């Protein structure tokens, strides 16, 4: 894979058989003009090239150009758990127990080196923006010194509630990363602390991120305050005797705590009923789908079509190698298209690019459009390149492909 970090003096006209702008229909025999680290024109090659003067022309021939991908939810510090866990077929608690145990066994060097490897892989597959969650910040300097953009969420786990949300400071002025606190889940963070984390983020215009409605055990715990999650909290000396179970679903619980709005990102949202959907439709939080992870643990499949009908913005995450065989946004797209055949390839690609970028706060990324940053991928598809726009998007998701080149800023 070739790559080029664009500089202000670069002025290029690049051509490919297909340009996928995301914000508009695919363009056959398209071209993009890049100047001063911005996309200035996108359109048909025969229309754009006449006006482009003093420009370096790069013809990528039989390729497809699209924006860099967004992996909106990872836990890089769990990368060392690759292949140490096999699918769990619905046993969420065993999975949690295994992750806790194996995580404790990992050395700091192992955590860092395995995260480095996953980052390298993510770059090679075309990811440009990452939403990473960590408990230790071991991976934070790797991220801040990488070509990626994104968010690092310092995850809070404390059901007892005693946690000091001190101002996060990290000296990396040129970093492309935003840093803030996130809450692990409704069953592992006390209600008051959940509200404190939301308020911390609201004051700083940051995204509030939380795993939510992932397993049936979570539903039982919030409805009755008992079950295997309560046992686990007791074992870990995290059970709070004063906790009064809200007696409602995770979505209703978060709504009752006033945590749902468009600056909240719900990870998973697998167990969502009709009433929950109405709440989501009204409060409009963002949703991050991690279907590969849901299938690996066996917790169920999120209602993506219903989320779309409710007008919710959806992005895609891989979650970690503790709950997925692969960390690949392409694989996630393929899985969504297999399990949810009524979701169009346009919609899936939008989730993996533009939506992820917008949700993580990168407004001029995730699409090929004048004024946007040229973080773009040139892909070689190992299949016949159709000349029909509908077919090309399906092929792009499902066919074997290789990144030939990437431009980035």
Q: How far is the CB of 322 from Zn ion (least distance, A)?
A: 9
Compute how many residues bind Zn ion; rule: CB under 5 A: 1
Binding to Zn ion by residue 214, rule CB under 5 A?
A: no
Q: How far is the CB of 38 from Zn ion (least distance, A)?
A: 34
Virtual torsion, Cα 376, 381, 385, 387, nearest 10 deg: -20
> First and final CA of the chain: distance in angstroms?
17
What's the residue count for the chain?
409
Residue nearest to Zn ion (CB): 319
3-state secondary structure 173-199: CCCCEEEEEEECCCCCECHHHHHHHHH
Closest CB to Zn ion among residues 125, 319: 319
Q: How far is the CB of 71 from Zn ion (least distance, A)?
A: 12
Binding to Zn ion by residue 77, rule CB under 5 A?
A: no
Closest CB to Zn ion among residues 17, 184: 184
Residues 310-329 that bind Zn ion (CB under 5 A): 319
Closest CB to Zn ion among residues 77, 319: 319
Contact 37, 43 (CB under 8 A): no
Q: How far is the CB of 96 from Zn ion (least distance, A)?
A: 11
Closest CB to Zn ion among residues 96, 352: 96
Closest CB to Zn ion among residues 98, 344: 98
Strand runs labelled E in 319-386: 376-381
Q: How far is the CB of 319 from Zn ion (least distance, A)?
A: 5
DSSP track, 104-149: HH--HHHHHHHHHHHHHHHHHTTEEEEEEEESS-TTHHHHHTSS-E
Closest CB to Zn ion among residues 265, 367: 265
Virtual torsion, Cα 129, 323, 105, 237, nearest 10 deg: 100
CA distance 51 to 276: 52
Q: How far is the CB of 382 from Zn ion (least distance, A)?
A: 32
Binding site for Zn ion (CB under 5 A): 319
């Amino acid at each position: 894979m070739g790559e080029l970090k664009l500089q202000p003096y670069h002025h290029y006209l690049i051509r490919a058989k297909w340009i996928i702008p995301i914000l508009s229909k695919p363009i056959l025999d398209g071209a993009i003009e890049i100047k001063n680290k911005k996309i200035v024109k996108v359109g048909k090659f025969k229309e754009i090239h006449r006006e482009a003067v003093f420009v370096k022309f790069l013809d990528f021939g039989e390729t497809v150009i699209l924006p860099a991908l967004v992996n909106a939810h990872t836990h890089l510090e769990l990368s060392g758990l690759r292949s140490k866990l096999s699918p769990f077929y619905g046993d969420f608690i065993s999975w949690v127990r295994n992750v806790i145990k194996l995580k404790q066994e990992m050395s700091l060097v192992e955590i860092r080196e395995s995260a480095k490897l996953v980052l390298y892989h993510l770059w090679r597959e075309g990811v440009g923006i990452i939403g990473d969650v960590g408990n230790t910040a071991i991976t934070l300097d790797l991220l801040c010194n990488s070509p990626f953009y994104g968010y690092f969420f310092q995850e809070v786990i404390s059901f007892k509630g005693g946690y000091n949300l001190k101002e996060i400071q990290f000296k990396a002025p040129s970093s492309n990363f935003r840093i803030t606190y996130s809450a692990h889940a409704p069953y592992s963070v006390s209600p008051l602390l959940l509200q404190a984390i939301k308020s911390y983020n609201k004051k700083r215009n940051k995204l509030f991120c939380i795993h939510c409605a992932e397993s049936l055990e979570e539903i039982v715990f919030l409805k009755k305050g008992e079950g295997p999650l309560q046992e686990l909290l007791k074992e870990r000396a995290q059970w709070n005797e004063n906790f009064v179970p809200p007696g409602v679903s995770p979505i209703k619980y978060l709504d009752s705590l006033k945590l749902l709005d468009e600056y909240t990102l719900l990870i998973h949202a697998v167990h969502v009923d009709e009433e929950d959907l109405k709440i989501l439709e009204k409060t409009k939080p963002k949703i991050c789908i991690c279907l590969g992870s849901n299938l690996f643990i066996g917790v169920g499949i999120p209602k993506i079509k219903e989320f779309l009908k409710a007008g919710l913005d959806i992005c895609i995450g891989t979650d970690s190698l503790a709950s997925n065989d692969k960390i690949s946004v392409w694989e996630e797209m393929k899985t969504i298209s297999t399990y949810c055949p009524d979701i169009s390839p346009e919609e899936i690609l939008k989730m993996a690019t533009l939506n992820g970028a917008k949700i993580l706060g990168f407004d001029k990324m995730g699409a090929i459009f004048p004024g946007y940053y040229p973080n773009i991928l040139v892909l070689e598809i190992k299949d016949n390149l159709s000349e029909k726009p509908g077919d090309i998007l399906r092929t792009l998701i499902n066919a074997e492909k290789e990144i030939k080149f990437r431009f980035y800023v």
